[in-house]
Structure formats: C-alpha cells, structure tokens
Structure 1
Amino acid sequence: MASDKPTGTHLAFHHDGKLLTLKTELLSIRPFAAVEEQNRAIFKDAGDDDYVVVTKETIFHPQGGGQPSDEGTISATTSEEGQAPVSIDIRAARMDVVNDGLVLHLGRFKDPSTAGKLQPGDVVEQAIDAEKRLLYSRLHTAGHVLGSAVRHLLEKEIEGFDELKASHFPDSAACEFRGLIEGKWKQPIQDRVDEYLRRAMPVEIDFWTEDDFRREGLERLIPDRSLLPPGETKFRVVRIVGAEVYPCGGTHVDTTDLCGATTVKKIGRSKGISRVSYTVA
C-alpha cells in the first residue's frame, strides 16, 4: 500500500505552529511488519496491530531536538453512509532513517476491520492533541529561556562555557552546558528566568541563511546544511527577543510568560558538563 517513493514530508508546523488540524494527501500506509528493519527499531513499543503512515505534509512534530512526538489522529475525510470515518490513533512520529526527509506516523486503526480502507492518494485529515502540544511548546520555550539566562549570567564567568544539548520532555527537562556550574548559581539563574518570564518577551520564528548568522555575529550557531528539511534552503531559528537566538525545529509559545512558572530544580555536574534541570507548572 504505497505510492511512488516520496521525496520528503513538508513540515507544516515549521511554518505555522498553531495548526491543530490539516488536510493532506496520504502517500503510503504499511503494516508495521512490512516496514524496514531500521525504521522498526525506532518505534520501541510497536506491534503487529500497528501501521506506519506517510503523508505529503504533516503537523505532527516528530520526536527530536529534545522535544517529544505529537500524538493525535489521521482520518479519512469521507465515510460510508451511516458509518464513522476511518481513523488511526497516532501515538508516535519519527523521522525515517532509511529515506531522508520523511516523517513516519505510527498508530492503530480505531476499528481494526477498516484497516484496508485507506489508500495512497486519499485525502486525510490530521489532528493533533492540542493539550500535549501546548505542554511541549511551553517546555521547549522554557528550555531556551533557561539557556539564555545561564548564558547571560555565566558565559564570561566559566572557562570554556558553551550550551550543549537539551531535553524538553515533561519528566526529564534539562539543559546541558560545558563547564562546571556551582550550586551557588541556582538562585541567580532562577531569578533571571523569572525576569525573562515577567517581561513576556516575544518568541519569533524566522528562516536564516548562513550569511544571516554571520551578520548577527552568530557564526558559532550555523548548522550543517544536511539538517535542512527537504525543499528548504534556509535554517529555521527561534529568537527570544531581548535574549538569544537558537537554530530550532521545535514548537513554541508566542511570549515567554506563556511558559508558565518555570522552576530550576537542580544543577548536576559530571566530567566537565553541568546539567540544569527544570519544570513548568
């Protein structure tokens, strides 16, 4: 159940993060057992009742960049008289590791007897869980607020300082930094985070070339061009106005106050790396 090999999934959420529903074309649908071994390995809890769906565009943020996968549904836009539309509960989305640029949506048919009724070329409607999307967006923006606060406070205080990776998962949200951040900095970091939230700083999405990074004096942030999504020629960036800019493919709230109360929980240190964990209320 597949059409001609698609060239890549258009990431609609990159351009409009407020889209909660989207009508798009179904490009392929396969039973989980028919999926390439490498792609089966990225879905840890999948089984024989699952299907993997590829669409022309998607509003589902695939797990990556520290942000969890969106969840929701993919449903037929038409139905037989007297019957509910054919629908798949999507519980995970990941980037295809075999075919560059495709987003794989994993889920199960609400009614298993309808499994053969979706075909490539059909128009389907995606809908994401709005409550989870908002939580993930709040956590992601809060992570950048925290990163900005730590950089502004400590960049010149700690030898070899740099921002490293981050997790924006609800149960393990944290930002990592090169250099040892002592416990005495916990309260100043919290105070700076609180200040950024109170100021309701705008969070802007933009698309930059390498020259844009250089013009802003941010050569250190230029990503590898292999990270560009299919069809894109510019890098997506998130600017917290008055603080920092980050190359970022995630979803965000519009202003920093919408993160909600953000608490710096703990500063851990190991092998020259400091991990600052946080939560949002």
Structure 2
Amino acid sequence: MELTTPTKLEFYDQMLKLQSKAILVHYFKGDDGRKALILDNTIFHPQGGGQPSDTGFICVTDSNLRFCVQDVRSKDGVVFHYGVAEDSSMDNELEQGKGKEVILQVDESRRRLNSRLHSAGHLLDVCMRNVGFGHLEPGKGYHFPDGPFVEYKGTVPLNELQNKQREIEIEVNALISKGGKVYATVLPYREAAELCGGSLPDYIHPVSGGYKAYFWTTFVSNTGNDWKSHGNSESDSFRLLTVALFSHPVQGSNPRIIKLGDNPGCPCGGTHVSDVSEILSMKVYIINLLHLENDNLINDPHVSECQIWVSQIRTKKGMTKVFYTIST
C-alpha cells in the first residue's frame, strides 16, 4: 500500500485540543494482523520523540460505529491509528467508509500525563544548564510513565553527584513554582535557531527534506542525462553536483520549536502542558553510565527514587542518565 499524502498533524498547533473532525482516507489490515485507520488530519499524537502514543476513539459521523484507538504510529508522514471496532460486524462499513467524516476523541488523562512528562524532560534540560552542566549535550529522552529519563553525553564527577542532584531538584521545582507559558511554533530555520540559543541540533537540516531530489533534478537538467561525462571521476561529478546544489536558492526547513517560559527553545514534535506550573513537582536522580573496557554498559534499571548509583569501574567513555518523576 502506497500513501503519498502526509497526514496533517493538528496537535502541532493545538496541543490542548482533544476532540476534532477528519475525513477517513483508508482502512486496512496490516501484515501483522492489526487494523488501522488513516485520516486526512489527526489530533492523535503518534509514538515518537520519546513520547508514547495517544489512545482514544474515532467515530463515524451519523453511525453507531466506534473504533477504539489502541496505538498510533507514523511512517513517511502518514499517521496510522491502530485499533479495533467495538462491534466487529461493522468492519465492512469501515472498509466502505472512504471519504466519510469521522469524529476524533483523545483520552484526556493519558494525553495530560504524557504532556506533563514530556515538558518535565525539557525542563530538566534547562536545569542542567542552570546548575553548570551546559557542556553535557542532551541525547536520548524517554518520557514514558514507567521510568522517564534523559541521557546526556558526558559524566558528572563522582564527588559532585549528590550535591548536583540536590541543586537540579531545587532548581527544577523553583521553575515549576514560578511557572511560565509554553509555546509551540513552526519557524524558518534561522529564526528557529535564534529561538534555541543560536543553533539547532545536527539532525535538523537548514533545507527541507525534499532538497536532495530537487537538487538532483536541477543538476541533471543543467548538465544533461550523461552527467558522469562532466567529470573524470565520481569525485569530480560530486563536485559538479555540489556546485549545482548551492547555485540555486532553496526553501528552508521549518522546524517546530517548543519554548518553556523565558528559557531557550528546543526542537520538538510532541505535546506539552500550557504552563510549566502544570508539571506540579519533580524529583530527580542521577546515574553515571559507564562503558567498560569490554564495552558492556553498566546500568541499574531498578534504581529507586533519589538513589545515587555509581560504578567504581574505570571508564573509556560515559554518559549521564538523569531519571525523574512527577507528582500525580
């Protein structure tokens, strides 16, 4: 099955919207047996970026059919709403339902928890900078309820772990108490970089995702189909291609930026609270992840709240893993 039209992500602009309408584009059964609905737009957040997917219901307008959304995924810009019809005898109606209007309802409690956890992870990045760990580059973020954490490249000196943990926890809860509006906006690359403190992560390119195909088409149209004849080697051809790429103006990428209060922004495609104060409170605990001589990763998945776990084994390289919890 080929679907070329991306699903419009309505939650990008309206993170607090929990009910919406859409048009059913396709209903299918995947190779794994799971059934999915594809819509022209959605308020359901697909799993990704360290955030679990939304769940909820999709109902066909003027019908008793209700589809229970159990999981949401995105592939090549198309969002798949996986689940089952509450009445399996109505599968045929879904199969014949292309073009029909549907009503979307996101589970409010799950969305709210996911948003608070995700915002808490971003606020942790702010606090790491504020307590002197700005040199630790944020890496993987896991904002699921079962043990959320953020990994940072680099390690905290062992003799500073306990004090820094206390500093981070005091700082993060002070920011929560202070509060601050949370903004989500899609900006041109340069403006986004300025909002994020002057630069963006390497995985965000300054030109749009379709630039390779555009550049290649431009190059071939300028040099002819026998493009290799314009260079004595592949490196020469690549040099000519590079000249073609940068001699033509291109449309820049437009990353989505999340900004917590007055703090620098951060690229993110997830959902967040409307105000930092909605996180309520946080506890943090730090672990140094140590790569041993045999490259086995030391980690303790059962570390308890506020516990410091430190390995005494010599490292070649390491990371800092900061776990956190939020009040319920």
Trace 1:36-185 onto structure 2 (pairs within 5 A).
40=32, 48=33, 50-79=34-63, 85-96=64-75, 100-118=76-94, 119-155=97-133, 161-181=136-156, 182=158, 183-184=161-162, 185=164
Root-mean-square deviation over aligned CA pairs: 2.1
Matched, 1:226 2:209: yes
| Contact 2:189-2:253 within 8 A present in 1 as well | no
Aligned pairs, how many? 251
Q: Structure 1 pair 278/214, CA: closer, same or farther in 2 (3 Å)?
A: closer
**Which residue of structure 2 aligns with residue 12 of structure 1?**
10
| Contact 2:5-2:78 within 8 A present in 1 as well | yes
Distance of 1:256 and 1:267 partners within structure 2: 25
Q: Which residue identity does 2:5 align to in structure 1?
A: T
| Contact 1:221-1:246 within 8 A present in 2 as well | no
**Which residue of structure 2 aligns with residue 277 of structure 1?**
323
Higher Cα Rg, which structure = 2
Q: Structure 1 pair 87/279, CA: closer, same or farther in 2 (3 Å)?
A: same
| Contact 2:180-2:276 within 8 A present in 1 as well | yes
Q: CA deviation at 1:220?
A: 3.6
**Which residue of structure 1 aligns with residue 213 of structure 2?**
none
Q: CA deviation at 1:165?
A: 1.8
**Which residue of structure 2 aligns with residue 45 of structure 1?**
none
Q: CA deviation at 1:219?
A: 1.6
SS at match of 1:221: coil
More helix by share: 2
| Aligned sequence identity (%) | 29
**Which residue of structure 1 aligns with residue 171 of structure 2?**
192
Q: Structure 1 pair 141/24, CA: closer, same or farther in 2 (3 Å)?
A: same
- TM-score, normalised relative to structure 1: 0.83
Q: CA deviation at 1:214?
A: 4.2
**Which residue of structure 2 aligns with residue 238 of structure 1?**
258
- TM-score, normalised relative to structure 2: 0.72
CA offsets 1:206-255 (integer angstroms, 9 cap, x no match) = 2221111344442243623439xxxx952110011222311001101111
